[in-house]
Amino acid sequence: MIRSAKPAPAKKAVAKKVVIAGPPSFKRERALLKQGIWPVAGCDEAGRGPLAGPVVAAAVILDPKRIPKGLDDSKKLTEARREALFEEICATSSFAVAYASPARIDRDNILRASLWALARAVASLPEEPKHVFVDGRDKIETGAACEAVIGGDAQVLSIAAASIIAKVSRDRLMCRLAEECPGYGFEVHKGYGVPQHLKALNELGPSVHHRSLFAPVAAARIWRESIVAEAEIAAVQASLDLSA
């Protein structure tokens, strides 16, 4: 009797982690420049994850003859280095910044609001680009050719420059909001959901600058409403007892 061999068990597909090596270069922009395609813009955003404040998007067209040295993904730079490079980029490049408010984020969701801000930043540039590099998986609506680059801030120099403009612009804005709404610590954590921020949310309730549909903010609002309701009930009961 001939027995058929059992089929080998199927191997499970293992997802490969994409590792982006830095630092970013001007290689892609230079290739387009050699083809006569210019201006070329890079764009990136800052602030998708925080519980408060806007998403800030930036678009940058670097001057090939005056590229600041040391450009890199903003997350890899110290605050002091980001600030210094921010000033250099502003002095040597064309750039624009756009903001998607918490209200827009609540209405459209964080992804759509971010893509809207990126497109708005590109449209606000002082010169219209012929090609746009955008960080991430998603292209944006623009009149130019658009290329999405995963890990773009670690690969494409103009995207890295945009990441610095977006990050510094947002950090400065959050420091101003901290003066307007003291107690939350915006100047420290820039709106991210760190323990200090979550504690303040429960104690103070959400501000007008919070993203009301983000889970921790919604939970804090319900918590505060329940405390206020209990206090009102207690006040009514106390008044009834006094009038009895």
CB 61 within 8 A of CB 156: no
Q: How far is CA 64 from CA 32, 83, 92, 146, in A?
A: 12, 21, 10, 20
> Would you state the pLDDT for residue 97?
98
CA distance 150 to 37: 22
> Would you state the pLDDT for residue 228?
54
pTM attached to this predicted model: 0.86
- Weakly modelled stretches of the chain, pLDDT under 70: 1-22, 226-244
> Would you state the pLDDT for residue 3?
47
Question: Phi/psi class of residue 131: alpha, beta or left (left: φ > 0; alpha: ψ in -120 to 50)?
Answer: beta
> Would you state the pLDDT for residue 225?
76
Q: How many CA atoms lie within 13 A of 19 on its CB side?
A: 1
The fold of the 27-188 domain, in CATH, is Nucleotidyltransferase; domain 5 (3.30.420)
Q: Return the domain boundaries, the chain.
A: 27-188
In sequence order, the β-bridge partners of residue 149 are 135
> Would you state the pLDDT for residue 19?
53
> Would you state the pLDDT for residue 7?
47
